[in-house]
Amino acid sequence: MTDAPAPGSNEARSLLQALYKEMAPQHLFPLWEVLHALVTPKPTSPVQPHLWQYDAARAHLLRAGDLISAEQAERRVLILENPGMPGSSAVTTSLYAGLQLILPGEVAPCHRHTQCALRFVMEGDGAFTALDGEKAIMRPFDLVLTPNWQWHDHGNTSGQPMIWLDGLDIPTVRFYAASFAERLPDGAMAHPETAPAGDTLARYGRNLRPFAGTTAARRPSRLPLFHYPYAEWRESLAAMARGADPDPHLGHALEFVNPADGGPVMPTIAAHVRLLPKGFATRPRRATDATVFVVVEGEGRARIGDREMTLAPRDLFVVPSWESLTLEAAGDLVLFGYSDAAAQQKLGLWREARE
């Protein structure tokens, strides 16, 4: 002790370097060298703002459609990978996004996994996602959920290609090392039908539910509803826009809810829609939930930090955590968005700032 060099002296610094070198093989490292990067005063993220033009993505997806079947691929999907996270298959640190193509007559085999998924229909009309053997017939801009560990398969019995956005919590599940997945036994492609298409929407989608403990109460009580049709959410937005001024930071915005608890649609993923009337520009807002957006209708501009993007129908874009977002509507602009706000709110992490 007595002959230890004065802390901060050149001698102390070189002895510390020697100490680090000796410790490293035992997987021991000094916190004081990294603390400032571990606990930052505000969020830092590798996620970059990015826009995917739909027409370009669609052309590549249709080419893949000529080269591999949905059954061969299991899921024929182009991943929207964030340019700031190469090789990650992730669109944000917690979420995945992909564009899935299913051609007329094709099936995507039944499976289930611990990842939660949502589908948001980009084009086509009449293919289905079946959840636990009940089909949801998918129409443009419908939202369909496949919550974790529920059997799901897809099929296209319509005459047109169907393309939808898949939003999953793959990076979140990978973070927890909690991925499980399985196919139906005996190579079965489709789940046996358990209920007619639309049955759940009628039983659980109109502020009603079957009596608990009866055979009519088919759905898991925690996540009863899985289909949120465009015709319904669009009409709600339109009614809202007729009757009130838009919120300065969000425009007219509605969140999709799980009717069982009034919370977000799935444990890890929240989803919403918004309408910005023609000529409206939002005030800048930032939030800790990085968000993936789809342009449903209209044209406009997005400013994300110092990036500017022009928005056209069906384009997709991603806003990183804590980057300031400003939106401008050239015509009535309708957006769908999903994020990990559901998980962050449960963990006490979620924050926003409105300028």
Judged by beta carbon, residue 168 or residue 334, the one nearer ligand 1HN is 168
CB of 164 to ligand 1HN, least distance (A): 8
Q: With respect to ligand 1HN, which residue has the nearer C-beta, 117 or 276?
A: 117
CB closer to ligand 1HN out of 100 and 172? 100
Residue closer to ligand 1HN by CB (options 131, 296) is: 131
DSSP string, 21-49: HHHGGGT---GGGTHHHHS-SS---S---
Structure tokens belonging to residue 270? 């929240």
Helix (H, G, I), strand (E, B) or coil at 172: helix
- Beta carbon of residue 198, minimum distance to ligand 1HN (angstroms, whole number): 20
- Smaller CB separation from ligand 1HN, 170 or 327: 170
We find the least distance from the C-beta atom of residue 213 to ligand 1HN, in angstroms, to be 31
Q: How many CB atoms lie within 10 A of CB 126?
A: 14
* Contact of 102 with 127, CB cutoff 8 Å: yes
Q: State the minimum distance, in angstroms, from the CB of residue 257 to ligand 1HN.
A: 23
Contacts 24+ apart (CB under 8 A), 52-59: 52/80, 52/315, 52/316, 52/317, 53/312, 53/315, 54/122, 54/312, 54/313, 54/314, 54/315, 54/316, 55/314, 57/99, 57/316, 58/99, 58/123, 58/163
List interacting residues with ligand 1HN (CB under 6 A): 75, 77, 98, 100, 108, 113, 115, 117, 152, 154, 166, 168, 170
Q: Is the dihedral of CA 111, 260, 173, 342 positive or negative?
A: positive
* Residues 220, 118: Cα–Cα separation, whole Å: 17
Q: Which is nearer to ligand 1HN, 49 or 155 (CB)?
A: 155
Q: How far is the CB of 188 from ligand 1HN (least distance, A)?
A: 15
Distances (CA, A) of 301 to 207, 220, 245, 312, 351: 37, 41, 20, 9, 24
Give min distance, CB of 75 to ligand 1HN, in A: 4
Choice between 223 and 327, CB closer to ligand 1HN? 223
CB 113, min distance to ligand 1HN, A:
6
